[in-house]
Structure 1
Amino acid sequence: MYLSDSKIQKMHFLKKTAIIVASITVLLLLINFGISYWVTQKLPKILQSEKDFPYNINYDDIDVRLISGSFTIHNAYLAPKDSLSTKNKGTFGKIKQIEVEQFNLWALLWQNHIKVKSITIDSPEVILYHKQKKHATQDSFIKPLKNTITTQRITIKKGKLRILDSLQNVTVTASNINFKITNTTIDSASVTKEIPVRYKNYSFSCDSLLYKVNKFYTITLAHIENNEGVFSASDFKLIPQQNRTQFNNSIPVERDQFTITAAKIDIPENDWGYNSDTLFVHIPRLNIEEVDANIYRGKMVKDDLKTKKLYSQMLRELDFDLKVDTLTLKKSTIVYEEQLSYDKPSGKVSFSNFDASIYNLYSPVGKKEIPDTTIDVQALFMKQAPLQVHWFFNITDASDAFTIQGKLQKLDATKLNAVTKGLMNAKTSGNINKVDFTFNGNREKSTGTFAIHYDNLKVEILKKDSNDKNELLSIFGNLIIKNNSNNTMKNTDVAVERVKNKSVFNFLWLFIQQGLKNTALPSLFTTNND
């Protein structure tokens, strides 16, 4: 077959073109392979060469894609550089996959700097073992990277965390950790700040959070989430780690033991951070639903003789900028128990259907004017009697003055036996139709008014260590008790001195006790309990 010169020239051209294309392709493949290999060697060396970087980083495989400017690290492992000499101390981690998008090759080549658009960390499992120097995110993770990595977005998916104490006991666990932070900057200026990472937005969520606060309490949460300033948490539990006897035996002076659960905590908007070096927390509204709180105090423990601060003083002495405009409690129950000895039942005071609104919960930091802090409560006292309370104070008042106004209606006096039987060795019966009081107090004393309307009020004094009635004392008690208020409100002025080593609620009880003493009850029926 005869080929013309033009066809032969064309075939030579195509052949040369194919060879050139093949050569370029092979060259590009070699360059890609070479650069990929270089990158795989260069990345860990950059991190390891950072003198402040405290970790060894290893991985099973890395895929580099030059065209898209991305790479993926598979099965990465993190361990302290001195992990061989300090076994089970410091931070250890295993990461299923690290996806890096749009990394800057020139920054890597000429500046030994890893500059990328985003980093996605998939399924990290991190264990923080105990070490003498406490774990600090700023020192351990942020400062070492200030000259090493720049990124616009960091995402963590499906993470797990465990923190162990010196005895290898778990103090913190969390699962399904998801975290995203955008427009981040870490530099020599930011690392000196309290929050060493500059960012625009962040979101965070996790499940099954457990935090061992101390030897007394553990906190658990089923789910916690914060997304663009909207915070929510569910199934909060503060659980004692000791029974009541163990708790009382482990404290030098008496204190309350708390058991608290809450179905839901919502903060629709929040703003927090640092203004210079001052922490600020600004929350327009905090909602807490279905709180179930039990507060127990054993009086068999030695009294704590330290002066107790009133709430206004506590807020006034906060050293950060706190501003909670409204805090609400809904559909809650609060039970206070006090026990004189282990061979007697505790006295119980309960508040159910408890709804409260607290306004202007502020510290003085960063504020020119501070409105009154006010507390409005509606509840059922002893599961029966409607109770309303209005409480207000101003934290700028150095005398810690406050006012508590209360109204109670339609209480069957037998409901008080849950208190009087354990604490006073007595039972009551009759009807307390209405109680009104205004309690004006400060850190020294209180004055105010007390009024009560009741009928058929009777007392039954019990024999010591028995549920049987002490006939003689009961007769004597009912002779001096004023059984009826004669269809009118019995009013009295009240003035009492504060016992400074007792709580504000003891102060209120002393006031009410004096009002009852003036209007209805004999002196033998009083007590000085918290």
Structure 2
Amino acid sequence: MSGLKKILIILGSLILLAILLNFGLNFWIRYQLPKVINQKNNSAYDISYKTVDVSLWNSSIHADEVVLVPKKALKDDKVKAGIYAKVKAIDVAHFSIWSVLFSDRIKAKSITITQPEVALYKKSEKAIDHSKSIGSEVVKPFEKIIIVSDIILKDGDVKIINVANDKAILSISHVNVQLDGIVITDDILAEKIPFQYKNYTLSCDSIYYRANPFYHIMTRKVATTNHGLSIKDFHLIPEYSRREFVRKIEKEKDIYTINANEIDIKNMDWGFKDTIFYFNADKILLNQLGANIYRNKIPADDLSKKKLYNNLLRNLKFNLKIDTLAVRNSIVEYEEEKTFDKGAGKLTFTKFNLTARNVCSGFQQKKLADMKIKIDCIFMKESPLNVDWSLNVLDKTDGFNIKGRILNFDAQKIVPFTKPYMNATTKGILNEVYFNFTGNDVNAKGDFAIKYDDLKVQIYRKNDREKVNKFLTALGNLFVKNDTKGELKSAEVELDRIPEKSFYNFLWRSIAEGLKKILL
């Protein structure tokens, strides 16, 4: 037998052996895989599929029409808790043959999940009860079946549903996710985020989230990576009408309706360090924000102390650092009414632009730069308003300085807000209004000045605030000149804070005190 013939026979035998081995391993894998997925599946879930194809040549597994249900639900159809899923296709790439044969679970480079419809039924109203529930309810059960480095999810729909009322707490439509460099260990499973990763991308067409019993959040397009987040058409919407909301609260509380055409976060970095959350960003932009704050005076006063912004930021229990917070091309409205019959008084700020720098929490900080806020807008749709506001988060006296200017303002437009503080109303044009107040948690003092034309004052009775005191009105108009003849009239203001009221109440009372000193 020639040498060439021997070589050909050996090569042919090796090829035949490889084919037989591949056939045998394919047969064995096909036999073993259902055991890994079901019989030796130590998770709380049953997994079934229509077809499965295994290729040893490229170390891949393809499964069609995969269905996942809790094992308890198969025994008792009344049980409705856990994850239910239907998946069009699952592809596992570069899997380890030996892991299937000898470790009873699949180890692979990546898994691609195509068009999953996932529903997580929960017994509570919270989407996530606590940080460890992600690990215990989602990651840990499937870590017993498959371990991969990369996860790709294509065109999925995900819902978290409250078992009690069968209503969605969270719903995400047409979601696409890619997680690269995943690492899971027993120690990592116990952490706040129960897996580590190198990179992630997520995008979806819409999100619905029931934030609490009073509000839900809706968005359209959302896209995020390790370093950025973009949200289109954000909406924070009350669950109830104003009348229903007021009936459901025991004490006065603001009702918020917030819309934003765009929210964009640049150079974002977030996570947990030693179990403590942190969030850093170079810039957060809220573009074309529409914010309506409504308060009804029917419920009892909330007499708890209202913390100033220094205090609120200082006592956050995590590390927050935002270099720049920007609000652009926006509208802010505040409405207040005593009863539903008379209608609400409204303050409107249009063309609202805000820039806040050095927005930080005080968590584990010993020194911080001042937070500086600049606001430019149109007040009541006609008067330019400019404000500069500064504070330091670490200042335990909650000190602040705020100064501003309003031009060409019709005094009659804020009668619903001036009358409660001054027991008086004014008519006329305030050509210029200036204020500069320095304060803290206890009091504020500073300068107030106005220049006005054709101003009239109307003073009301003390014992009947709806009726005009004709004598004091006549006397007041006698002493108040109709105009300041082009000169500023100024007054020094000093005022104690009402601890049960907000910072904005404190600012407004300081302005009203200045008006009272000059006009009355």
TM-score by length of 2: 0.90
Corresponding position of 1:155: 152
Offset, 1:131:
2.2
Corresponding position of 1:291: 289
Corresponding position of 2:512: 513
Q: Deviations over 1:372-392 (max 9, x none)?
A: 111110011111111111111
Offset, 1:143:
2.5
5+ residue gaps, structure 2, are none
Q: Is this contact kept in 2: 1:349–1:418, CA < 8 A?
A: no
Specify the SS of the correspondent of 2:194: coil
Q: Is this contact kept in 1: 2:154–2:177, CA < 8 A?
A: yes
Offset, 1:242:
1.3
- Are 1:195 and 2:226 an aligned pair? no
Corresponding position of 1:214: 212
Match of 1:63 among 53, 61, 84: 53
Corresponding position of 1:525: none
Corresponding position of 1:310: 308
Corresponding position of 1:527: none
Query: Which amino acid in structure 1 is aligned with residue 483 of structure 2?
Result: N
Offset, 1:82:
0.9
Q: Which has the larger radius of gyration?
A: 1
- Are 1:79 and 2:69 an aligned pair? yes
Q: Distance in 2 between matches of 1:403 and 1:272?
A: 31
Match of 1:44 among 12, 37, 45: 37
Offset, 1:61:
1.3
Q: Deviations over 1:344-393 (max 9, x none)?
A: 12111111110000111111224342111111100111111111111111
Corresponding position of 1:500: 499
Offset, 1:72:
0.7
Specify the SS of the correspondent of 2:50: strand
Q: Deviations over 1:448-485 (max 9, x none)?
A: 1111111101246899xxxx996947656644544322
Q: Distance in 2 between matches of 1:267 and 1:383?
A: 30
Corresponding position of 2:380: 382
Q: Is this contact kept in 2: 1:394–1:401, CA < 8 A?
A: yes
Corresponding position of 2:399: 401
State the superposition RMSD in angstroms: 3.0
125-134 or 293-302, which deviates more: 125-134
Q: Distance in 1 between matches of 2:480 and 2:241?
A: 40
Query: Which amino acid in structure 2 is aligned with residue 399 of structure 1?
Result: T
Change (3 A) 1:87 1:471: same
Structure 1 residues 292-441: aligned runs within 5 Å: 292-416=290-414, 419=417, 428-441=426-439
Query: Which amino acid in structure 2 is aligned with residue 280 of structure 1?
Result: Y
Change (3 A) 1:332 1:497: same
Overall identity of the aligned pairs, in %: 35
Q: Distance in 2 between matches of 1:47 and 1:175?
A: 33
- Are 1:107 and 2:99 an aligned pair? yes
Corresponding position of 1:98: 90
Q: Distance in 2 between matches of 1:492 and 1:425?
A: 19
Offset, 1:42:
3.4
Query: Which amino acid in structure 2 is aligned with residue 518 of structure 1?
Result: K
Match of 2:115 among 110, 123, 139: 123
Change (3 A) 1:477 1:119: same
Corresponding position of 1:141: 138
Specify the SS of the correspondent of 1:304: coil
Query: Which amino acid in structure 1 is aligned with residue 501 of structure 2?
Result: K
Q: Distance in 1 between matches of 2:237 and 2:348?
A: 19
Q: Is this contact kept in 2: 1:329–1:356, CA < 8 A?
A: yes
Query: Which amino acid in structure 2 is aligned with residue 43 of structure 1?
Result: V
Change (3 A) 1:484 1:47: farther
Change (3 A) 1:438 1:327: same
Q: Distance in 1 between matches of 2:58 and 2:187?
A: 32
Query: Which amino acid in structure 2 is aligned with residue 206 of structure 1?
Result: C
Query: Which amino acid in structure 1 is aligned with residue 137 of structure 2?
Result: S
Q: Distance in 2 between matches of 1:320 and 1:292?
A: 28
138-147 or 91-100, which deviates more: 138-147
TM-score by length of 1: 0.88
Q: Is this contact kept in 2: 1:236–1:261, CA < 8 A?
A: yes
5+ residue gaps, structure 1, are 1-5, 523-530
Offset, 1:128:
1.7
Offset, 1:414:
4.0
Q: Is this contact kept in 1: 2:315–2:363, CA < 8 A?
A: no
Q: Deviations over 1:23-59 (max 9, x none)?
A: 65873564154124224323304761x3xx2211111
Q: How many residues align?
A: 505
